[in-house]
Amino acid sequence: MTRKVVPAWVVGVILLAATPAQADEGELLAAVRRDVRVHDPSTIVRCEGEYWFFATGHGIASWRSKDLQDWQRGPRVMPKMPSWVQQVVPQQRGHYWAPDVIFRDGKYWLYYSVSSFGKNRSAIALATNVTLDPDSDAFEWIDQGIVLESKSSDDFNAIDPAVIQTGSGELWMSFGSFWSGLKLVQLDTETGKCASDAKLHSIAKAREIEAPFIYQRDGWFYLFVNHGLCCRGLDSTYEILVGRSRSITGPFVDREHSLLSQGGGTLLVGADGDFIGAGHASIVQQDGKSWLGCHVYDGTDRGKSKLALLSLTWSEDGWPLIDSRTNQR
């Protein structure tokens, strides 16, 4: 069997490995769910004993699984386009991007992007449901309208939302793509929307940056971001980087103490052979184990975008690590 030396981020000793470990070619590909063709997967949540996530697509795609391994398609969230959509983005035809979902106060709050490629005339909107089970009599997605929008005169782009409820009960949304970088805004816990005087915090910036995700652990807020370009199949250059801060508003720094607001970030998931362009990170727990969810372009299948679940551990000094040796389940 052909063997190779794997970059430090693959074996979980980011940037600090004295003796790189050995791993089989394509071990990260074992984390790819090859029959789940998706882009921009949301955080994975649970409902009635099943795992669910949502993804970019017409009406917003959904997927369901009982074990995180075998997935089936669920119903579209919004098969009919809300009346306000084309008023904000005239080019829209119901293809929504990069959703995220959170369960709180007895409801599933689904945030999603309304935009067009390469423009920042965009909006992040919200839909809610009391259940994800389409067989339930209570199942109904209710459009709550716009949460935040950006115009061509703004220096940010209102897409790629990711929502977190902190340990203290606050609700925050990170978002952004290119322009002046990634932003953070506090949301009203009753409505799930921005207050009229809500302040935008700048949390990360780079020449090619988008898809933030914030995770709270042991007194730290971890900011996961994408550097590079997506949507190019085999030519995609997405990489997942991470920094952390004691405050959710930053400043976020990487393992080498560089600011994410100045282009910093510790590499967590880069390209590895046919495992290309990992993007839109999130974290899900299952039976005490953590998994990093993302999409990846499969080099063994003409660069099609698919779901990947990567085994996630933590270093002694509190940094996330990807261990390819435990990706196969």
Q: Which helix H or strand E contains 11, and what residues bound it?
A: helix 8-11
State how far the Cα of 45 lies from the Cα of 249, in Å rounded to an integer. 25
Tell me the CATH number at 135: 2.115.10.20
* pLDDT the model gives residue 225: 98
* pLDDT the model gives residue 2: 32
Residue 246 falls inside a structural domain: yes
Show which residues are catalytic. 40, 210
**Which two structure tokens, joined as six digits, stand for 309?**
């679940």
Residue 54 falls inside a structural domain: yes
Residue 147 falls inside a structural domain: yes
Confidence of residue 1 (pLDDT cuts 50, 70, 90): very low
Residue 229 falls inside a structural domain: yes
State how far the Cα of 210 lies from the Cα of 224, in Å rounded to an integer. 10
Return the closest-CA partner of residue 26 out of 294, 329, 276. Answer: 276
Residue 19 falls inside a structural domain: no
pTM: 0.91
* pLDDT the model gives residue 28: 87
Residue 150 falls inside a structural domain: yes
Spell out the residues 6+ positions from residue 88 whose beta carbon is closer than 8 angstroms to its own: 114, 121, 122, 123, 146, 149
**Which two structure tokens, joined as six digits, stand for 189?**
């816990």
Q: How many CB atoms lie within 10 A of CB 49?
A: 7
Cβ distance 206 to 212 under 8 Å? no
Q: What is the pLDDT of residues 277-290, one digit of tens each?
A: 999 999 999 998 99
- Domain region containing 158: 39-298
Q: What is the pLDDT of residues 146-172, one digit of tens each?
A: 999 999 999 999 999 999 999 999 999
Environment class of 175 (CB within 10 Å of its CB; exposed 0-12, middle 13-18, buried 19+)? buried
Buried b (16+ CB within 10 A) or exposed e, 103-128: eeeeebbbbbbbbeeeebbbbbbbbe
Mean pLDDT of all residues in the chain? 90
Residue 11 falls inside a structural domain: no
How many residues are there in the chain?
A: 329
Residue 258 falls inside a structural domain: yes
* pLDDT the model gives residue 324: 64
DSSP secondary structure code for residue 179 in this structure? T
The domain total for the chain is 1
